[in-house]
């Protein structure tokens, strides 16, 4: 199923309520993803900067399935003037991407991280990840902020993949202590 990003100018809560209500009423088990709730950054940086500086309109991004695109855009257009919301644009998604960096000082947490990375969906690609694992038996028992640690797992990489598996993978990594993640970026069709 194809997915689309819809960029809406106006009140995010109103647009989200309208799209979610429409999705529920259609009884097709459709989901509307509000990008701000999933740590997905705006693809329209210039609009986001203007919004943060206090001028221009407020923008929000939503991800919907292909079957919701026509109904959602039609509903937003038909009632948009009354609710002061408007569709700015919509683009087909090809996937998501993000960067991660890990610096782990617990062997147990390190094993969890290695497991999550190894067991990811086969459609998810990681580039630039060259983990470095150090076990220093001479420093055994050292505390977290000590100058020497008995265990260190570190590395960083770039992740790209289809929307649903990449979103799930992102939040599995986010649950691991000492893993830093960038915001998710939307990949759109050219």
State the average pLDDT over residues 56-84. Answer: 86
Res. 33: pLDDT tops 80: yes
List the Cα angle 25/68/164 in 5-degree steps. Answer: 110
pLDDT of residue 40: 94
Q: Report pLDDT digits (tens) over 152-163.
A: 899 999 999 999
What's the confidence (pLDDT) of residue 50?
Answer: 54
- Asked whether the predicted pLDDT for residue 41 surpasses 70, the reply is yes
Domain with residues 96-188, CATH architecture: 2-Layer Sandwich (3.30)
DSSP3 helix / strand / coil % (the chain, rounded to 5): 35, 35, 30
The DSSP 8-state label assigned to residue 1 in this structure reads: -
Query: Is a pLDDT exceeding 70 seen at residue 18?
Result: yes
* Whole-number pLDDT of residue 53: 57
DSSP conformation class of 35: G
pLDDT digits (tens, 9 = 90+) for 87-144: 988 999 999 999 999 999 888 999 999 999 999 999 999 999 999 998 876 655 545 5
pLDDT at position 189 is 81
pLDDT at 44: 59
What pLDDT, on the 0 to 100 scale, is given for residue 118? 96
Determine the Cα–Cα distance for residues 165 and 183; give it in Å rounded to an integer: 16
How many Å apart are CA 41 and CA 61, to the nearest integer? 9
Is the pLDDT at 181 greater than 80? The verdict is: yes
Q: What is the rounded distance in angstroms from the CA atom of residue 5 to the CA atom of residue 162?
A: 14
Pairing state of beta strands 3-9 and 59-65? antiparallel
Question: Is residue 176 within 8 Å of 112, Cβ to Cβ?
Answer: yes
Tokens of 104: 């782990």
What pLDDT shows up at residue 141? 53
pLDDT at 190: 74
What per-residue confidence (pLDDT) applies to 113? 96
CB atoms closer than 10 angstroms to residue 159: 25
Phi, psi of 187 (to 5 degrees): -100, 125
CATH topology of domain 3-94: Alpha-Beta Plaits (3.30.70)
Contact 42, 35 (CB under 8 A): yes
The pTM for the full model equals 0.84
List where CATH 3.30.70.260 sits in the chain: 3-94
pLDDT, position 135: 84
């Amino acid at each position: 199923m194809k997915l689309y990003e819809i960029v809406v100018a106006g009140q995010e809560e109103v647009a989200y309520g309208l799209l979610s209500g429409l999705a529920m009423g259609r009884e097709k088990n459709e989901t509307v993803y509000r990008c701000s709730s999933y740590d997905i950054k705006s693809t329209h940086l210039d609009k986001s900067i203007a919004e943060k500086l206090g001028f221009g309109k407020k923008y929000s991004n939503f991800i919907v399935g292909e079957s919701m695109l026509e109904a959602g855009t039609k509903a937003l257009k038909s009632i948009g003037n009354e609710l002061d919301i408007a569709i700015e644009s919509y683009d087909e998604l090809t996937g998501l991407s993000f960067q991660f960096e890990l610096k782990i000082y617990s062997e147990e947490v390190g094993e969890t991280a290695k497991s999550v990375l190894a067991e990811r969906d086969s459609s998810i690609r990681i580039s630039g990840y060259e983990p470095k694992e150090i076990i220093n038996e001479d420093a055994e028992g050292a505390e977290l902020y000590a100058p020497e640690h008995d265990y260190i797992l570190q590395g960083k990489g770039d992740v790209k993949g289809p929307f649903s598996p990449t979103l799930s993978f992102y939040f599995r990594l986010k649950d691991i202590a000492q893993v830093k993640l960038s915001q998710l970026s939307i990949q759109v069709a050219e």
